[in-house]
Amino acid sequence: MPQQDTVLKQGELITAVTLPKPLGGKHFYEKVRDRASYAYALVSVAAVIQPDGTGRVAFGGVAPRPWRVEAADALLPHGAAAVTARAFQGATPTKDNAFKLPLATRALASVIAEAKA
Amino acid sequence: MKFDTPAVTNPIDRMKIVGRPHTRIDGPLKATGLAPYAYEHHREIENVAYGYVVGAAVAKGRINAIDTAVAKAVPGVIAIVTAADVGKLGKGKFNTVKLLAGPDVDHYHQAVAVVVAETFEQARAAAGLVRVDYARGKGRFDLDAALKTAPLTGAEKPGKGEDRVGTFETAFASAPVKLDAEYTTPDHSHAMMEPFASIAAWNGDALTVWTSNQMIDWGRTDLATTLNMPKEKVTFLSPYVGGGFGGKLFLRSDAVLAALGAKAAGRPLKLAMSRPFMANNTTHRPATRQRIRIGAAKDGTITAIAHESGSGDQPGGSPEAAVLQTNLLYAGANRLTSMRLAVLDLPEGNAMRAPGEAPGLMALEIAMDEMAEKLRMDPIAFRVKNDTQVDPKDPKRRFSQRELVRCLTEGAQQFGWSRRNAQPGQVRDGRWLVGMGVASAFRNHMNMTSGARVRLGKDGVVTVETDMTDIGTGSYTIIAQTAAEMMGVPLDAVVVKLGSSAFPVSAGSGGQFGAANATAGVYAACVKLREAVAQRLGYNSADAVFDGGKVTSGNRSADLRRAASAGELVAEDKIEYGDLDKSWQLSTFGAHFVEVGVDSYTGATRLRRMLAVCAAGRIINPTSARSQVIGAMTMGVGSALMEELAVDKRFGFFVNHDLASYEVPVHADIPHQEVIFLDEADDKANPMKAKGIGELGLCGVGAAVANAMYNATGVRLRDYPLTLDKHFDRLPAVA
């Protein structure tokens, strides 16, 4: 439900956050913006990349919440373009934010390149 | 003192205090919070009420009715003032649009009411409950659409709005190498730190206003005009200003509404604009659409140059004069400049730091870079080739001083320009594409009448009084330096009092004319005081030497303070100018060098280092002048990379009206800046031999960034701001 930003129901509070065990691999957060600090991301990419090129990726700045598509994760070994093609399948950008789709691809490409470095 | 012949040797030339670096004499007050800004004059007034402005919710239309009943019932509300309550107001000479709407609304967030209450929170809450019924009209908000039918500025005058030398069209058509390109700059907001704020207090029919304004006499006069009262009844005070950048040259709604609200409440009122109110309520630098054509011979000699610009403003407004520098900056036998002005119903456009030159050079200096590339010339060599020492339109008029070539060549040496790869897109540093760019800096120097009063006290302290303002520039300090040099006393024996309408009218702060003219006015007053001192001591004033707290004439010498032993000596004068600026062209010059990195993946541009070399006459205080220039360079980076007021063309307002969404550089954006001042003294300018510097530091910076980006990437951008979305898809493939 993209319009639903929380699973909390009326009267519920967050009392604790349990983090999963570390996944291994290299961890990245790439934030793209028009100035060096104090700006919202135009696009951001968070990723965990394993030595074999598999991993997980989430995108920011493209939806009302961090954007994850598990089927896209599976395409990480095929490169950034394959991942974003799947992750943003059916996206309906406007004239003013259409640049975010190719920008996300390039941002993810920078992460994949760094993982290989 | 009339300045109508070039300056000869005078006491300032000793440069014992003038010309040397001094930290701000008002620095400790500011660092400890003791310098009162407009909203902070707590000691002078009691029983203050608070005002909050209600802004128009439509950009064009008419107010049918204002329902204040609910708002008036809010606890603590004292009064609500609208145009209907105050009768017909006047309009200040420097205001294009009236400062209180009603019944007509001229632009979004034009003030329609001020709510006065016991506390700020009560006033703000009640302001939200004022109900205004509008008849929304049809406004004009699209510059490109409006320019299609906009007339040439000055079309009714000889020349029909075009400034021509030779025959541009013929020369351009036959030029072997030519460029014809269009450039755009967006609307800019001054975004100064201190918001517009005023405290108003009435005493009978006399009004005192503490405010934040660059020009005391303009503000005082326009406030009196607006309120239909004699100027003499208005005391206008602005001793400290937290930035203005031209936005505070003029009377704005805060001062008017504070005065009207205080009158209605029957007690003093303080009022500050909220940040989100400023972009649309006040003025901005108008957007431009510029076309530049340059034709040159194969050796790089410019034979034809044309610069045409279009901008918009409210009815009765004026164009952003983006073409004027093109009349003077480069040689060329055939020339054309012109401006078009469209009528828009966006907020009022007006001066912002280096009006005209800032956006004009953002375009012209990209065009010069493009032309150099077409000619296969180094961009510096191309500029040097087309230097002119005379006004191209009137070759009898020489520049009083023009060291543009030295600025470019010495800057090149200092910056390591020889390491620049002329082939773009070739230099890599990891994921970064690296490039260097250069641009000329140019801004005219303006003469302005400026007065001051100087007192010599019994204690030997010299007190300067002038209505000059210090908008963060260092006026207090350079005025103290001038008086100390003239009277031969140490800096700490001078007290400087600024920003009061009780003091002689000065140049004020704007157009980079403040420092040179205001200190020249202090010079003039000090000359008079020196005469009074010499006379009191029985010396011949012509040969008296003022130095080390003593006055010496021939073999006689006395402590300066002895001259005031029988009572304070007071002298007042102003600097006034003859025609030297007609027989000579007074201008300031510089060169900006920039190195950027462009992220090869995302296209994000980050500054790596920058250098400015400035030739601007005598530099009165290298410390504060450097601060002026690095601040201006920072502003230039902002205009190049991020600053843009986004226009909502449906509803007619600037959408990003706060500091989160109107982005200006943060510290992390500006890693390294250097400034070099050439050692100059311009005897045609004034007795200080100084010119302006505060705007020169901005002029050309944007283009230097743009040219560095092109050198880094090989992708030419002509539409500011040069954000990553405009070029990343043309960078080398990465995925």
B562-591 confidence digits (pLDDT tens): 999 999 999 999 999 999 999 999 999 999
pLDDT at A1: 54
Contact A72, A79 (CB under 8 A): no
Q: Tell me: pLDDT of B42 over 90.
A: no
Other beta carbons less than 10 A from residue B542's beta carbon: 9
Instruction: Identify which of B331, B308, B302, B330 has the alpha carbon closest to the alpha carbon of residue B320.
Output: B308
CA distance B502 to B517: 19
Q: Do A109 and B601 touch (CB under 8 A)?
A: yes
The mean pLDDT of B284-304, rounded to a whole number, is 98
User: Looking at beta carbons, which residues of chain B come within 8 Å of A113?
Assistant: 431, 601, 734
List phi, psi (to 5°) of B618. Answer: -65, 135
Chain A, residues 35-54, CB within 8 A of chain B, namely 35-39, 42-43
Task: Check CB contact of B732 with chain A, cutoff 8 Å.
Answer: no
Q: How big is chain A by its Cα radius of gyration, in Å? A: 15
The mean pLDDT of B456-463, rounded to a whole number, is 97
The mean pLDDT of B104-131, rounded to a whole number, is 98
pLDDT at B158: 86
Q: Do B728 and A81 touch (CB under 8 A)?
A: no
Q: Which chain A residue has the Cα nearest residue B664?
A: A35
Adjacent-strand bridge partners of B336: B164, B306
Q: Tell me: pLDDT of B433 over 60.
A: yes
Q: Do A103 and B666 touch (CB under 8 A)?
A: no
pLDDT at B43: 85
Q: Which of A31, A34, A101 to mutate to test the interface with B (most CBs of B within 10 A)?
A: A34
Length of chain B: 735
| 3-state SS assignment for residue B371 | helix
Task: Check CB contact of A113 with chain B, cutoff 8 Å.
Answer: yes
Structure tokens given for A101 = 């789709």
User: Looking at beta carbons, which residues of chain A come within 8 Å of B734?
Assistant: 80, 106, 109-110, 113
Catalytic residue list contains B695: yes
CA distance B379 to B199: 52
Give residues with Cβ within 8 angstroms of B2, minimum separation 6: B576, B577, B578
The mean pLDDT of A5-21, rounded to a whole number, is 90
Instruction: Identify which of B446, B441, B586 has the alpha carbon closest to the alpha carbon of residue B516.
Output: B446
Instruction: Identify which of B57, B154, B153, B185 has the alpha carbon closest to the alpha carbon of residue B113.
Output: B57
Give residues with Cβ within 8 angstroms of B475, minimum separation 6: B468, B469, B498, B509, B514, B515, B518
pLDDT at B327: 98
Give residues with Cβ within 8 angstroms of B215, minimum separation 6: B249, B250, B469, B508, B509, B510
**ipTM of the complex as predicted:** 0.92
Structure tokens given for B433 = 């594409």
Q: Which of B602, B642, B643, B717 to mutate to test the interface with A (most CBs of A within 10 A)?
A: B602
User: Counting one residue from A and one from B, how many pairs have CB atoms under 8 Å apart?
Assistant: 68
pLDDT at B704: 99
CA distance A99 to A84: 13
Bigger pLDDT: B194 or B159? B194
Share of chain B above pLDDT 90, in %: 98
Please, which pLDDT band fits residue A2 given cuts at 50, 70 and 90?
Answer: low
Q: Do B734 and A37 touch (CB under 8 A)?
A: no
| 3-state SS assignment for residue B653 | strand
pLDDT at B307: 98
pLDDT at B300: 98
CA distance B156 to B658: 40
List phi, psi (to 5°) of A30. Answer: -110, 120
Contact B161, B338 (CB under 8 A): yes
Contact B724, B604 (CB under 8 A): yes
Other beta carbons less than 10 A from residue B243's beta carbon: 18
Instruction: Identify which of B236, B152, B241 has the alpha carbon closest to the alpha carbon of residue B195.
Output: B241
Dihedral sign for Cα atoms in the order B13, B15, B18, B20? positive
pTM: 0.97
Q: Is the preceding peptide bond at A20 cis, omega within 30 degrees of 0?
A: no
Q: Tell me: pLDDT of A86 over 90.
A: yes
pLDDT, one tens digit per residue, over B618-668 is 999 999 999 999 999 999 999 999 999 999 999 999 999 999 999 999 999
Per DSSP, the residues of B420-475 read: --SSTT--EETTEEEEEEEEEEEEE-----EEEEEEE-TTS-EEEE-----SSS-H
Question: Which amino acid, residue B291?
Answer: R
| Residue B645 Cα distances to B346, B347, B522, B641, B656, angstroms | 11, 11, 40, 13, 6
